[in-house]
Amino acid sequence: TPSSRESAERISCYTIDSYIEDQQETFRKGGYRLLDVDNRMVAPADVQITAFVRSSDVLHSFALPKLLIKVDAIPGRINRLPIKASQCSIIYGQCSEICGVNHRFIPIVIEFIPEKYFVIWLEALN
């Protein structure tokens, strides 16, 4: 039986696309108004992951203040961002660039879970 790390290495990449949705709808679903998202990014805790940040419209800035992370999302460019949370947690962030009318409605949420549960979660996606 492969270890959870070997299983995670087999599944090396998954993609998340982010779009603005009606914040009142998220709030009605039980989320934090202006902070939560409809589908959180899930990542393994205590494992360094690499996020590739890009934008398809205007300049954005992907920020996770608790992890001291901020990187620009620039149209036509892909920026590489190493991320590691040392423990299981839910990290809230936001776009830190004044990018347009709905700027304040661009939250970021990453849920860091134990690596063995992350592998199970990933395999369930397939």
Decide: 108 and 71 in contact? Cβ < 8 Å.
no
- Looking at domain 4-125, does it have CATH number 2.60.40.420? yes
- What was the pLDDT predicted at 39? 82
Report the predicted TM-score, pTM, of the whole model to 2 decimal places: 0.75
Q: Would you give per-residue pLDDT tens digits along the chain (126 residues)? A: 445 555 545 555 556 565 555 656 655 666 555 677 878 899 999 999 998 898 888 999 989 999 999 999 999 999 998 999 999 999 999 988 888 877 766 889 999 999 999 999 888 887
| Residue ranges of domains in the chain | 4-125
Residue type, 29: K
